[in-house]
Chains A and B, each alone.
Chain A
C-alpha cells in the first residue's frame, strides 16, 4: 500500500504561459498525462491511496481528487473527470481574485498533503490487528508527494517550506518534483532533503514519459531503474531581509539568519556583531545606506 499526494500548480499565469510557450495542445497534453499517471497509480493496487491537490491563489479550494472520500462503496479508477473539473475550478477561483500581487502558495497545500499522509501511516500501522495486512507494515515508507510545478520562482514561504521538507524527511515521505519550467532552487532542495527526484521536463509531451519511468515506482525500487541524469543543484538561500536568493551572504553565528549584506545587528535574535575585520571592498555606496532604514519585511 502506498499513498501518493500529487500537488499541481494552480496559478492561472503559469497555465497561460504553458499555452503560450508550447501551443494550444500543451494544456490538454499536461492534463492527459496527469490523468494517465494517477490512474496508473490507482490501478497498481486496490490499497493504493491518492490525493490530488492544486495550489493556487485561493487556499480554501485545494482538493481535486481523494481516493478515500470520493468512493462510496465502489472503487473508482478514473480520475479524469475530477482532474479536469478540479483544475478548471481552481483556475476560475484564481481569476476572481482581485489582488494582482497574489501569488500561489505551495506551503498550505503541502501541509495539507503531509497531514493526509500522516493519517495514512497511522491507519496502516493500526491495521496489523486486522487479518488482511500482515506484510504491509513496512509499506508506509512508500508514501510520497509529487509536486508538479510550472514556474521557476517561489519567492515567499521560504522558511515554512523548508520546515515542511525537513518534517517530510523525518517521517520518511519523499518529495518528488516535476518541473515543466526550470525547477525552482527551493524545489531542487526539497528533493535533495527528502531523497526524492527532481525532474525537468522541457516539453509537455515528455511529461507522461518522465512520470511513468521515474516517479511511478515506489522509492524502494528506484535503484533498480536507470536514474535520471543529475544536473546542477542550486543551493542558494533566501535572505531574511528581502527574501531574495543569494549566493554569497552573511550569517548570524548565533541563529544562522541569512543577511544579503553585512548588518551590525541581527534582525532575528538581536545579536550585535563587531565590524568585520576587513571591510567589504565591494560597493559600499547606495545599497547599504538604504538598507538600514528599511523595515524588516519578515518577522
Chain B
C-alpha cells in the first residue's frame, strides 16, 4: 500500500488507474504523518455516503425485476491471506452486507448462489428473495472446503442454464467473485461467453488477485463490469456498485405495474410448481390470485397471466424513509427522572431530549435510535 517513497511514486503504469479511481495520491500528499489507512478510509466513507445520497432520488427505479446469480470461487486460492483475515472470510462478510443493500435497492429481485470448487460448479441456493436463506448458505462455507482449481466455464454454464429460461425483458445477471488467476475449463471458454452473450445475460467479475484478459473480455462482451479489488474497503465499494439497478435504456419511463400478493399456503395434494416444470414438488407454495398458477418462490412473473407476484414485506423495504421523525428539543437532564423508552436514569450533566409533541423525555442513545432507525416516537399517538 505504501506509495510514498520517491521511486515508488512513479510506480507501474497499471497502478495509476487504481490509484486514480480511489484518489489515493491526493490523500497521501495531504497526510504524511503515517495515518494513511485512516484517511483512505475517510475517502471511501465519503464516496460511500455520496453514492448513498445519489442512489435514493427518483431516477433510481425500484420496481425493476432482477435475477442475479452470485458465483463464489471456492478454489484453494480463496485461503490466501491478502485480504484480512482471509479472502474467503472477507468475501463472506462483504457479500452478506451486499445482499442486504441489494434487496433494499431491488425489493423485487431474486438472488441465487453458486460455488465453484475443484473445477465443479454447484448451485447451493436457487433463485430466492429470502436473504436469510442466502446468508445461512454463505456462512456455511468454510476454508477447509476450499480446494482445487476454479473453472469459469463450468460456473458460467451452470448460471446460464438457470437463467436462460427466464423472460428476456428482466435483468438477468451473473456476478463472479474470482480469487484464482487461472481457470481450468473442460472446453473453449470463448464459446461459452458467446452463448452467454447471445442470451443477453450480464456478467460482471470482481477479481481478488490481478487483472485477467478472459474476465475483461467476458465483462466487455456481456455489458458487465470488471474490477480488481485493492483491499477490503475497495471490495465493498466495488460490490456495492452492483446493487444499484442497471440502466436499461429504453424502459426508463415510469409506469404503474400490476401486481398480485399471493398467500403462502400449504396444499393437500402435492403439485409441481410452474417455475420448475420437472423440479421439486413441495407442499407449500404461492398461488397467483388471478389465474391460480402455483409457484414455489416469489417475486416472479406469472407465466400464465403475466401478473407480477410479490410479497408485501418485499415492497415495504422501499418506502420506509418517507416519514422522518421531527427532531427533539435538547434540554438539561434531571437526574431524578429517567428515559421514557429505556427507563435508565439520566446521567448527571448530560442532556435529555424532549419530544415536542408528547413532551416525553429520552436519553441520547434512544434519541439516536429513534431518529436514525425507528422514525417514530414511542410516546406519541400515531396518526394517519
State the A residues within 8 Å of B (CB).
51, 59-60, 62-63, 66, 68-69, 105, 107-109, 111-112, 114-116, 118-119, 122, 156-157, 159-160, 162-167, 170-171, 185, 189, 192-193, 195, 230-238, 243, 246-259, 262-263, 266, 268-269, 271-274, 276, 297-299
A232 in contact with B264 given A66-B343, A157-B382 (CB within 8 Å): yes
Instruction: Let me know if A271 and B313 touch, CB within 8 A.
Output: no
Instruction: Let me know if A111 and B377 touch, CB within 8 A.
Output: yes
- Closest beta carbon of chain A to B47's beta carbon, Å: 23
Contact residue range for chain B? Answer: 35 or more
CA distance A255 to B132 in the complex (A): 24
Instruction: Let me know if B382 and A163 touch, CB within 8 A.
Output: no
CA distance A171 to B374 in the complex (A): 12
| Chain B hits for A257, CB < 8 A | 319
Q: Check: B260 CB closer than 8 A to any chain A CB.
A: yes
Partner of A118, one of B265, B316, B369: B369
Q: For chain B residues 252-285, which have a beta carbon within 8 Å of chain A? A: 253-266, 284
A269 in contact with B343 given A253-B63, A259-B256 (CB within 8 Å): no
| Chain A hits for B369, CB < 8 A | 114-115, 118
**Most chain-B CB neighbours within 10 Å: which of A59, A115, A230, A273?**
A115
Instruction: Let me know if A248 and B366 touch, CB within 8 A.
Output: no
Instruction: Let me know if B266 and A108 touch, CB within 8 A.
Output: no
- Closest beta carbon of chain B to A296's beta carbon, Å: 10
Residue in A closest to B308 when the chains form the complex, CB atoms:
A251
CA distance A247 to B345 in the complex (A): 47
| Chain B hits for A51, CB < 8 A | 343
- Besides the known contacts A162-B313, A235-B311, 16 further A-B residue pairs in the complex with CB atoms under 8 A apart: A51-B343, A59-B379, A59-B380, A108-B380, A111-B376, A116-B343, A118-B366, A159-B322, A171-B373, A232-B263, A235-B298, A236-B312, A247-B260, A248-B290, A250-B257, A299-B322
- Closest beta carbon of chain B to A297's beta carbon, Å: 6
Residue in B closest to A167 when the chains form the complex, CB atoms:
B373
CA distance A271 to B265 in the complex (A): 35
Instruction: Let me know if A243 and B384 touch, CB within 8 A.
Output: yes
- Closest beta carbon of chain B to A110's beta carbon, Å: 8
Partner of A253, one of B100, B256, B360, B382: B256
Q: Check: B25 CB closer than 8 A to any chain A CB.
A: no
Q: Check: B318 CB closer than 8 A to any chain A CB.
A: yes
When A and B form their complex, which 3 residue pairs have the shortest distance between CB atoms, in order from nearest? A237-B312, A253-B63, A115-B341
CA distance A66 to B341 in the complex (A): 11
Instruction: Let me know if A268 and B319 touch, CB within 8 A.
Output: yes
- Closest beta carbon of chain B to A112's beta carbon, Å: 4
**Most chain-A CB neighbours within 10 Å: which of B100, B257, B382?**
B382
Contact string against A for B residues 347-367, beta-carbon threshold 8 Å, 1 for contact and 0 otherwise: 000000000001010110110
- Closest beta carbon of chain A to B86's beta carbon, Å: 22
Q: Check: B168 CB closer than 8 A to any chain A CB.
A: no
Question: Can you name 14 A-B residue pairings with CB atoms under 8 Å?
Answer: A105-B382, A114-B374, A115-B362, A115-B369, A115-B374, A170-B100, A189-B311, A233-B264, A235-B286, A238-B312, A250-B258, A251-B259, A252-B256, A276-B258
